[in-house]
Structure 1
Amino acid sequence: MEHIINLTKENIQQVVDASMDNFVVMSFWAQQQPESVQMLQVMELIANEQAGRFILAKVNCEAELEIANYFQIQSLPTHLVLSQGKPIDGFAGVQSQAQVLDMLNKHLPELWVQDVNAAKVILAGDTVTKEQLEEALSLLKSAYVDSGNQAEVALLMVDAYLQLGILGDAKTLLDTIGLADQDSYYQNLKAKLALAEDAADTPEIRQLQQALEAEPDNVEISINLAKALSQANRGEEALENLFAILQKDLSAADGKVKQVFMEILTALGQGNTIANQYRRRLYSLLY
């Protein structure tokens, strides 16, 4: 359902049903009542700014007198907040945007909860694209900050990281979850991470690691190992190995180490936490 609708006799049951899961604000107005038109504009502004936080149901009392009579509207403008099919709050007369928000904030969920719920829908989908997962992760990153780093949001972020194959960030974030929040969802994600890490430990990687142990100064082996780690979604390990070389010689292997390092950063993407961390570390060497 759209976040702003015109309430009529034909769709009122649909709106009441929607109030079982969402908050609905009913705005009673009439063209012949200028103050009600003014208040309706304020409500539309708020509804657009907070799209999805509540449904604004506009009731034109000149056309829908029965609805106004049913809710015993005595004057215009009048606003009612519906939850679970019943009015739980409201106000009559003109109020400022700040006053309206103060009233709504007593009942409506925090804005970050809306982002979390949207991300949950994406993560629970049967067929989810990479773009959708990245959208969910972006919503969750914002919600994580706004929620004060709540564990519930962190676990959802770990889920998104795992589905995207970003194992380093998933492991780092999972390690921040306190004992009190290590529920069944946490255990499920921990098991998925372990399986993903095992799957990422390919024979090629093990062979290159053994070769590097035998020849620790062989830059070519280090480059090949970094490429293999990156392909196995182990970008943090790849970057760490190459950065250790760059710390000693920025132009190692005629600049090839730095080139591969930058390619891995690009592959991880601009919004990747690990990529941003190592990009800053590289800049500290350059300048």
Structure 2
Amino acid sequence: MEAVLELTKDNIQDVVDASMKQVVVLAFWSQQSPESVALSQTLTGMAHKQAGRFVLAKVDCDKEMEIANYFQIQNVPTTLVLSEGKPVDGFAGLQEEVQIAAMLDKHLPAQWQIQLNEAKNLLALQDAAPALALLKQAYAESPNAEVTLVFADACLMLDDFDSAAELLASIGLADQDSYYQSLKAKLALALDAADSPEIRELQKAVESEPENIAQLLLLAKALHQAKRNEEALAILFTPLSKDISVENGEVKQLFLEILTALGQGNTLANQYRRKLYSLLY
């Protein structure tokens, strides 16, 4: 249903039915009342800004007197909050946006819940990239276990194993349910698949010759290709912390390339970017 609509006798039943699943705000107004016109504009702006949290159904009392009479509206502007087919709250007269928001927040789902639900729908369609963007916003607002698990799921779909591992490690024992266990299993399988014979051979070579920077670069590249970026950055940072221009700057160059590939919003990239800045300045 649209975020804002005009309530009429033709669609009132659809709107009442919609209130069984989503809060509907009924705004009774009249062109004859400047206050009600102003409030209608405020509510319209809020509905568009908070799209998905509630539906605004505007009732033009000059045209829809029957609806106004049904809801026993005495004066305009009057605003009612409709939930499960019944008015549960409301106010008469003009109010500021802050006051209206405080009243609505008592009845509306939090923004992070809406973002989480949208992300779940996208993940069900295997559309992980836009889901990840929503989950980052939801996680910033409320990093609870429910959001964290879905966030980790999206990271796994996008082969970001480091972020998925970090998110799963933050889940407390009480929240380690069947969903958590399935994600842990997916991560373990993904990491096993990324542990190729080539990487194991390079790891042995680096362990036996830790000062061989050429071998270390090969290992870092292989780890990066296998999406094991945290390991790649860690082994590159060790020689960088001793000499920022080691191997004619090749180590620093690869380090920066991996950070760029991870992107500006990546937590791991930001962490190692700060470490690099501490060496430079």
TM-score range (shorter-chain normalised) is over 0.9
Task: Quote the offset at 1:16 in angstroms.
Answer: 2.1
Task: Quote the offset at 1:54 in angstroms.
Answer: 0.9
Taking the TM superposition and a 5 Å limit, the aligned residue runs for 1:72-151 are 72-125=72-125, 127-128=126-127, 133-147=128-142, 149-151=143-145
CA distance in 1, matches of 2:27, 2:179: 41
- Counterpart of 2:219 in structure 1 is 225
Task: Quote the offset at 1:51 in angstroms.
Answer: 2.3
Where structure 1 has 5 or more consecutive residues not aligned to the other structure, the ranges are: none
CA distance in 2, matches of 1:9, 1:123: 38
Task: Quote the offset at 1:70 in angstroms.
Answer: 2.4
Give CA-to-partner distance per residue, 1:74-107, whole Å, 9 cap, x none: 2211111111222211122222222222211211
For 2:21, what is the secondary structure of its paired residue?
coil
CA distance in 2, matches of 1:177, 1:100: 36
Give CA-to-partner distance per residue, 1:21-50, whole Å, 9 cap, x none: 211101111112222212212212322332
Match of 1:166 among 144, 149, 160: 160
Give CA-to-partner distance per residue, 1:155-188, whole Å, 9 cap, x none: 1111111111111111111111111111111111
Q: What is the identity percentage for the equivalent residue pairs of Structure 1 and Structure 2?
A: 62
Whichever residue aligns with residue 105 of structure 1, its letter is: D
Task: Quote the offset at 1:268 in angstroms.
Answer: 0.9
Task: Quote the offset at 1:114 in angstroms.
Answer: 2.0
* Greater Cα offset, 274-283 or 97-106: 97-106
Whichever residue aligns with residue 184 of structure 1, its letter is: S
- Counterpart of 2:192 in structure 1 is 198
Whichever residue aligns with residue 198 of structure 1, its letter is: D
- Counterpart of 1:249 in structure 2 is 243
Task: Quote the offset at 1:276 in angstroms.
Answer: 0.8
Task: Quote the offset at 1:255 in angstroms.
Answer: 1.1
Whichever residue aligns with residue 138 of structure 2, its letter is: A
- Counterpart of 1:62 in structure 2 is 62
CA distance in 1, matches of 2:250, 2:95: 65
CA distance in 2, matches of 1:207, 1:89: 68
Whichever residue aligns with residue 122 of structure 2, its letter is: I
Task: Quote the offset at 1:189 in angstroms.
Answer: 0.9
Whichever residue aligns with residue 230 of structure 1, its letter is: H
CA distance in 1, matches of 2:97, 2:258: 48
* Greater Cα offset, 25-34 or 138-147: 138-147
Whichever residue aligns with residue 137 of structure 2, its letter is: S
CA distance in 2, matches of 1:43, 1:32: 18
Task: Quote the offset at 1:273 in angstroms.
Answer: 0.6
CA distance in 1, matches of 2:91, 2:14: 23
Task: Quote the offset at 1:242 in angstroms.
Answer: 0.6
1:32 correspondence with 2:32 = yes
Q: TM-score, normalised by structure 1?
A: 0.92
Match of 1:272 among 238, 262, 266: 266
Task: Quote the offset at 1:199 in angstroms.
Answer: 1.1
TM-align CA RMSD: 1.6
Q: TM-score, normalised by structure 2?
A: 0.94
1:215 correspondence with 2:209 = yes
User: Structure 1: which 4+ aligned runs deviate by more than 3 Å?
Assistant: none
- Counterpart of 1:46 in structure 2 is 46
* Greater Cα offset, 208-217 or 223-232: 208-217
Whichever residue aligns with residue 81 of structure 2, its letter is: V
